[in-house]
Structure 1
Amino acid sequence: MTDASQEARWLLRAGRIEEAEQAFTRVLTESPFDLEALNIVALAAIRLGHFHRARDLLNRAVSFSPDHAASHHHLGRAAELIGDLTAARDSYERATRLNAQLPAARLHLAALLERPGEQQAALLQYSRVMSDMQQRGRWLDPATTPPALEPLVAHAAQVVRSGRRQLYFSLLEPLAAEFGRSGLARVERMLRIHLSEEQPVYTDPRQLPTFLYFPDLPTAPYFDRGLFPWIEAFEGRTGEIQAELQALLRADAGSEAVFGSPELAAQNLRNANGAPSWTGHYFYRHGERRETNCAACPVTSSALELLPLSKVEDHGPEILFSGFTPGTPLLPHRGVTNTRVVAHLPLIVPPDCALRVGGEDHAWQEARVVVFDDTYEHEAWNRSDQIRVVLIFDLWNPHLTELERAAVARIVVAIGEFRQATEAA
């Protein structure tokens, strides 16, 4: 590093910006491709309104270092100020591809996309950058936002709020036109809570969904069996269902780990006497019907299809023969939404096995269905020396109307698709 470079960097660290810019200009006479000098002198040129000079300097920077994201970002600023919006967009997009965590570049890209009316693309870029930064504890308020970016960050937050609101509420319009708006009042309140426009009011403080709260539903850790008119007929199929389960166990076929990684399993399972294990023979997983597994258990799968399963594309239900190996406990956790409830049909239940929901213990009884709200903190354990198996299946909350179920399904799919589009932006 030359003496001129050292001096320029010292002045910059000392906050003597104008002197630093002059020093970096001298650096360029000795080192015409010094990236830091090119960017600092170019930004000074932009502040002075010398946009073409800035672009020339930054073109030199990216020709020397094509993968330098900050240079592409600054080149985009110069091009935009000149009025070359196509070149500006290309530079911003290149910068965000090279460094997905370059927030100012993504902000400027989003703002540029608004100008020709590409509102959806702009919304996704704003959503991506706001999500990225807020997950890192930044851009939450003026204290965590650089003053120079405050107006643009505030605008981004407003675009995301209004864009998500318009997207989700628009899904209700066809249902309101066909069935009337009054039947959607609770759904609209659910959306306002989800969008942080309204605070949730939990009638039972033990209940706390991690994702989506539907208001004004009766609450209890366990549901009264009388809410499920199908329950006794389903329990009457237990012997046939157990026979299909036993065939699977003998063949040791079709099961998989419930948790997708050893790290996730370690966070949720414990066993002082050996490796804990929670496996499942899935009939549905994340809403996808497992045709091979269903075909292996035709009685079970056909009986399940007669129930009010909480079917939401790419999300639910989860239905499985759930096996805990001896000594396995599932640690306390919470479910994502009270729009669905969880049912267990116990099939193999040795002693010392139980479920705890909201601090209330329930001992499984073979062939007797229990239905609970998994947005209460809940846990389960098998303290025996034998395997424990229950059939788990997700149902719609019985207090939802058919119209509300249809609306919730649309909204959950849209929330998931918007999240995926944001992550891919």
Structure 2
Amino acid sequence: MSQAAIDAAGQAGMQALRAGDPATAIGKFQSIVAAGAADSAVWLALSMAYQAAGDRQSEVAAVTQVLEYDPDNIRANLIKADALVALGRRRAAMGFYAHLEVLVPDLVGLPPQIAAELNRAREAHAKLKQGLSDYLLAEVEKAGFHPARSSRRFGDSLDILTGRKQRYVPTPRAYFFPELPAIEFYDRARFPWLDTVEAATDDMCSELLPILEEGTHFGPYIEVEAEKSSHVVASSGKEQVSAVDDWTAAYLIRDGKRQTPLAERCPKTLAALDGVPLETIEGRAPFVLFSKLTPGAWIAPHTGFLNSRLVCHLPLLVPDGCWFRVGNQVRLWERGKVWVFDDTIEHEARNQGTGTRVVLIFNIWHPDLTEEERHLVAALMTAVETFEAG
């Protein structure tokens, strides 16, 4: 078949398709395929002709050829997703609808007809996801699953599978210790010393309030973290807050050293931590601080530096409207109730109340590290410091 004949067949096929004659269109396009001259445009037109003829199986086969040439072809992904739904292959269709959302994350500025088609695809995808979620939940409930009583971890896995939750993993900005679990908030039963720390909440507040009233001991937390980032092997990105003065810190212990005179004014606060396995690294840790977040402040999603430690928050002053998210879990601070979390999992905080939020923050060694591993991690981080000093 000459190029002129190929071009003529293509034009005739398109004219037949526009005229509502899919059988003739299919014949013209198939003649090009038989000649070995079909490109992605021909396969796409052939898939549209099969669709008009009601042959959805052949439509899928033809549009698959387009995706072999161009897997990111928006029109081809949409055609294949719709055809798979028509064939009852809903789960397969979801992958193509999902890929469309990756290819075109924002519909703003698109021509109205294209935006309408892609919006329809998103609605179809959402309906499929909801249908899958409802079906799977019903099936596991038949097997004995109960959302309130069964394994929380299994419930999370179901939510991640069906798209109700995201998968979050530890992503430390500097140092990664392998084979530690990805847990957002840790079970308090692992930390028997928490009761002693919480029992000192009133004493801590009595030491904190005069310091707050003086208003001179808190400095921007972001600046402190920027300094600490220079102590590690590598880092990328950092915490972002709505305004630098919205998130401030007053240190009792910083880089392993007591901060006088502030530490001397808070003996009960520090005494309550005597039985805590604080992260200890020469020249770097432990640190203990009061962290203040002003009304309206938002700490944008970010991750911490080292997964060899966990972070503890003891809420001291907590107005209504303050929340904290780690991974998929959002919690409200409760005065006097410590939580322990992995700060290398994406987290954020917001004070949507009318008062100032203050929590005591301190780091502990990860409980799954052995004594030898703690010793070696500390030596390694100290070596980073001495390398910089040299």
Q: TM-score, normalised by structure 1?
A: 0.48
Percent identity of equivalent pairs: 38
Counterpart residue number, 2:322: 353
Which one-letter code corresponds to 1:232 in the other structure? D
Quick one: which amino acid aligns to residue 373 of structure 1? D
- Give the distance between the partners of 1:402 and 1:206, measured in 2 at CA: 25
1:19 alignment counterpart: none
Q: CA 1:205–1:323 in 2, change beyond 3 Å: closer, same or farther? A: closer
1:411 aligns with 2:380: yes
Match of 1:210 in 2: 173
Q: Does 1:260 align with 2:223?
A: yes
Q: How much does 1:420 deviate?
A: 4.1
In 2, Cα distance between equivalents of 1:284 and 1:361: 29
Where do residues 177-326 of structure 1 align in structure 2 (5 Å cutoff)?
206-260=169-223, 268-270=240-242, 276-326=245-295
Aligned AA for 1:331? A
Partner of 2:272, secondary structure, is helix
The residue that corresponds to 2:154 in the other structure is: none
Unaligned runs of 5+ in 2: 1-166, 228-236
- Asked if the contact 1:359/1:378 (under 8 Å) is kept, the reply is no
SS at match of 1:322: strand
1:359 alignment partner AA: N
| Partners of 2:314 and 2:338 within 8 A in 1 | yes
Give the Cα–Cα distance (whole angstroms) in 1 for the partners of residues 309 and 238 of structure 2.
Answer: 27
- Contact 2:239–2:299, Cα closer than 8 Å, also in 1: no
Q: Name the counterpart of 1:327.
A: 296
Cα distance, 1:267 vs structure 2: 6.7
- Displacement of 1:218 in angstroms is 2.5
Q: Distance in 1 between matches of 2:364 and 2:309?
A: 5
CA deviation vs aligned residue, 1:304-343 (integer Å, no higher than 9, x gap): 2331110111222232110011111111111111111100
3-state SS of paired residue (1:250) = helix
The structure 1 segments of at least 4 consecutive aligned residues displaced by more than 3 Å after TM superposition are: 263-267
TM-aligned CA distance change 1:328 to 1:217, over 3 Å: same
The alignment partner of 2:207 has SS state of helix
Q: SS where residue 369 of structure 2 aligns?
A: coil
Distance 1:311 1:326 in 2: 33
Contact 2:240/2:300 (CA < 8 Å) preserved in 1?
A: yes
Paired residues, number: 215
CA distance in structure 1 between the partners assigned to 2:368 and 2:260 by the alignment: 30
Over 3 Å counting, the alpha-carbon distance change for 1:205 and 1:382 in structure 2 is: closer
Judge conservation of contact 2:196–2:272 (CA < 8 Å) in 1.
Answer: no
* SS of alignment partner, residue 374 of structure 1: coil
Partner of 1:365: 334
Q: Tell me if the contact between 2:168 and 2:345 (Cα under 8 Å) persists in the aligned partners.
A: no
The TM-score normalised by the length of structure 2 is 0.52
Superposed displacement of residue 398, structure 1: 1.1
One-letter identity of the residue aligned with 2:352:
R
Aligned-partner SS, 1:410: helix
1:60-99 aligned at under 5 Å gives the runs none
Aligned position for 2:351: 382
Task: Tell me the SS of whatever aligns to 2:262.
Answer: helix
Cα-Cα RMSD: 2.4
Residue equivalent to 2:86: none
Residues 142-179 of structure 1, C-alpha deviation per residue, up to 9 Å, x if partnerless?
Answer: xxxxxxxxxxxxxxxxxxxxxxxxxxxxxxxxxxxxxx
Contact (CA 8 Å) 1:324, 1:387: kept in 2 or not? yes
Tell which deviates more after alignment, 226-235 or 297-306: 297-306
- Partner deviation per Cα, 1:261-286 (whole Å, 9 max, x = no partner): 9x999971116xxx751111101223
Partner letter of residue 389 of structure 1? V
Runs of 5+ consecutive residues of structure 1 not aligned to the other structure = 1-203
Structure 2 residue matching 1:301: 3-state secondary structure: helix
Question: Once the two structures are superposed, what CA deviation does each residue of 1:242-267 show, in whole Å capped at 9, x if it has no partner?
Answer: 11111212233422221229x99997
Q: Is the contact made by 2:204 and 2:268 (CA closer than 8 Å) also made in structure 1?
A: yes
- Larger helix fraction of residues: 1
Once residues 316 and 396 of structure 1 are traced to their aligned partners in structure 2, the CA distance between those partners, rounded to angstroms, is 10
- CA-to-aligned-CA distance 1:52-78 (integer Å, 9 cap, x gap): xxxxxxxxxxxxxxxxxxxxxxxxxxx
| Residues 115-146 of structure 1 deviation map (CA, whole Å, 9 limit, x = unaligned) | xxxxxxxxxxxxxxxxxxxxxxxxxxxxxxxx
